[in-house]
Structure formats: structure tokens, C-alpha cells
Structure 1
Amino acid sequence: MIMGIFYSAVSPFWALMLAGPAVLALLHASHTLRKTQLEIPTVFSAWCASIIVLVLVWRMRVPVLPDLHLHLSGVALICLMFGRSLAITGISIAIALYTFEYDGSWLNLGVNILLMAVIPCWFSDLLLKKTQQYLPHHMFIYLFGNGFFGALLVNASAGISTVILRSLLFPDANLPADAVAYMLLLAWGEAFLVGFLVTIFAVYRPVWLQTFDDNLYLRGK
């Protein structure tokens, strides 16, 4: 995936303008966060571990330009595991840790939270609600509709959003013609991984999959 703008200097004006929606989204996430989620045994540990894993996964990257890299995203899986509010909070913490650990630009913090946390988490939540509204309430609809195809769309939307924003903020930077194609190919591969992990969690660790409702998808089937 192509995600985040950690090292290219964003102008203070755009940094503040884009940080506004990110701050509002974080405040909304903190307001709607259900703390009882973290009181469920092993969920808090899984949430903390996912933050650390995200930082490590983002570091395993293939450079395209000095501040443009291809790497796994992980955000689609986090959204399905913990839901929108908790996922936005956790991914935002991971972004701050990545910025601190690898000397990223703190001025870009709001931009990265918007691109890597807010947009994918809200889109993932929208897809989940629409599949529940219009498709049969069946376990395989969740696994394939959200775990595979949903993850593909979420990761692709995050990558495309980053490409579009980079082209607006840095019009003189030339993006390689095949970068988007490789990004979409990597999103396709990650969708298989997310679908596999979601299936494993649904069977063996359903408590880690907060968006999977047993009463909705399994009862009476």
C-alpha cells in the first residue's frame, strides 16, 4: 500500500487545515468509544499488540520515492477487529509511535491520521453497515464481503486517497506510472491475508473480532 506522508514537508497551512478533520474524528472516536470492549479478557492485550505490529509492518517497506513506499497496511484488519472508534484510536497511536521512532514530521501527524486512520475506518464501518443492511446475515457474507472484498476496498481507498493528496500537496513530484498498479496489486494480496485472519479469528478467537455478531450471523442458521 501507499499510505502516509511522513517525511515530505507539508506546508503549515495545509497541515493545519487537514489536521482539523483528524482532530474532530479523534474527538468523536473518544466520545463514542465503548470502554467495555477493552474490559473483555484478552481484547486489551490484542489491541495493544496490534498497535505495535502496525508500526513494525509499516517499516517493512519497498521505497518508490524518498517519501513514497509500498508496504502492507493492516488497517482493514484492525477496523474489523475493534470497530471504528477503537480502531481510529489505536491506528492514531501507531502513527504517533511511528513518527517518533523513525523521525517523521510531527507537522504531518494530522494528515497521516486522516489518511491512515479516519478515512479507512469510516469507510470500513460504512461497508459493514451496508452489507448488514442489504445482504443476507450469513457468516460467509461477513467473511468474504467484509473480510476479503471489504478489506480490498478499504486498503485501495486509503492508498488512492494518499496518491490524490500527494498530487495536490506536491504537484511537482512525479509519481511513477506503475506505482498505483503495484499498490492495487499489493492491496489484492493483503485482502487474501485479511480474509484468512478474519476467518481464523471468527472460529478460534471471536472475542478479537468485535464487528462479528454471533446473534446476527450464526443464531438460527
Structure 2
Amino acid sequence: MSSPVWTTPSLEWLAAGIALLALILSARWLPWFKLRNDNEAQHVFFAGIVCLVALRFAVFDKIPGLSLHFFGAAIATLMYGPAFALWAMALSVLVAAFTDAGLWLGVAPDFVTGGLLPVVWMQVHHWLVRNKLPNNVFVYVFATAFLGGALTVVVAQLARAGVVAFLVDGAATQAAHNYLISAPLMMFGEAFFTGGAMAMMVAYRPQWVASFDDDLYLKPPTDE
């Protein structure tokens, strides 16, 4: 077996630097006015963090050696916007570190692969759907939420497979392969969870969803 390309300490330091940079940059665009003097918004934000931690206990452990769980990054991004979503994911990882849920290779690697990358992808996906497809509630729920939620799992699992593959040759190859084959199994659950949650909130609590604009998605059709 050849020498490891990565050691765990070097991985953690690199991930910590990326995570810190992302959080500092996102802090500049945090829309604090949405929380200031709004008790409902504050309750929704912190309840969301609790839910993100709870998702870590919905473990899928059918593949030996892997402990898989829902991420919730797509819902956080659509509900709070990317800046608040990054901080919500970061706080949920910190809270999870003090529970039995466990972390993936440490706090920073867990956040980068399961929080930062899925949030960034979800924001890009939302922008593409909003600008390339018709703007209506069905497209929002199915193309943005369902499909976006599924693809966040693909992004996270690809990232983790890549990291594991570089950690050490040989023994890690099977683990990396397991992350890849787990993606299709997990993406459907994340898709239905994300799409279902967003459909319910759009219908009953649209004010909780930062990415949903009534004027844009519920506008009546115009005659050509």
C-alpha cells in the first residue's frame, strides 16, 4: 500500500480553512433584517436547526461501513437563502458534534461536504430553474425542490467518495465505491422529503420560504 495522499489532520485543516472562508464571506450578506424584531422568523430559523440535527438520526445503514443520513441542505437553502442556510448547516453540525449522531471525518469535513457544497449547488440549481424554465408553483415544487433535493445528495456523496478515495489507497477504494452506490438510494428519499416539505410550506406558510415569490410563481397566465 502506498503512502496516503491525505492524512486526517491535513484534511481537517484544509476543510476548516474552506469552511471558515465560506462562513466569513456569507456573513457579509446575511439579511439580518429578516430576523430582527420578527419572533416568528427567529423561531422558524432555530427550529430549522433543530430539524437539521434531527435528520442526522434518520440513519440509513444498509451498506456496511457507511452511516448515511438526510442532509436537509436543499430545504435550508430554499427556506432561508444561501447565506443563512450555510450558517444553519454549520450550527447543526456543531450541535451534532455533542450528540450521538456522529460526524463525517470531523466537524469541518462534515460541514464542507454535507453543508457547503450542497447549499452552493442548490442555489445554482434554483437560479437555473428560475431563469430557464417557466415560473409557476409546479415547476418550483418539482424541478426546484424535488430535483434539487435529489441532486444535493449526489453532490455530497460524490465529494465524500472523492475525499475517501484520496485518503488512502486500496482499503479506501471500496468505501469510496459504497458512497457512489449509496447516492441513488439516498437521493429519492431526500427528493421526496424536500419536495414534500416545500410543497406544504408553499401552500400553508409561504412567508417561511425566502425563495418563493407569490408575484413570480402565482401570477395568472397572460394571453399572447
Question: TM tier, shorter chain?
Answer: 0.7 to 0.9
State the shift of 1:120 in Å. 0.5
**How far apart are the structure 2 equivalents of 1:153 and 1:198?**
16
Amino acid corresponding to residue 49 of structure 1 in structure 2 = A
Find the partner of 1:28 among 22, 25, 28: 25
State the shift of 1:17 in Å. 1.7
RMSD of aligned Cα (Å): 2.4
After superposition, the Cα gap between the structure-2 partners of 1:126 and 1:105, relative to the gap in structure 1 and judged at 3 Å, is: closer
Larger RCO (alpha carbons 8 Å, 6+ apart): 1
Pairs aligned (count): 212
**How far apart are the structure 1 equivalents of 2:34 and 2:162?**
35
Structure-1 residue corresponding to 2:204: 204
Structure-2 residue corresponding to 1:78: 76
- Structure 2 unaligned segments of length 5 or more: list them: 1-5
TM-score by length of 1: 0.86
Please state if 1:18 is matched with 2:22. Answer: no
**How far apart are the structure 1 equivalents of 2:200 and 2:101?**
35
Find the partner of 1:124 among 117, 122, 125: 122
Query: Which is greater in Rg?
Result: 2
Structure-2 residue corresponding to 1:194: 194
Amino acid corresponding to residue 27 of structure 1 in structure 2 = I
Q: How high is the sequence identity, in percent, across the aligned residues?
A: 25
State the shift of 1:104 in Å. 5.3
Structure-1 residue corresponding to 2:41: 43
**How far apart are the structure 2 equivalents of 1:75 and 1:211?**
14
- Structure 1 unaligned segments of length 5 or more: list them: 1-8
**How far apart are the structure 2 equivalents of 1:195 and 1:103?**
24
Structure-1 residue corresponding to 2:107: 109
State the shift of 1:95 in Å. 0.3
Structure-2 residue corresponding to 1:4: none
After superposition, the Cα gap between the structure-2 partners of 1:133 and 1:21, relative to the gap in structure 1 and judged at 3 Å, is: same
- Given that residues 99 and 106 in structure 1 are in contact (C-alpha distance below 8 angstroms), is that contact kept between their aligned partners in structure 2? no
State the shift of 1:175 in Å. 1.8
Structure-2 residue corresponding to 1:92: 90
TM-score by length of 2: 0.85
**How far apart are the structure 2 equivalents of 1:104 and 1:137?**
40
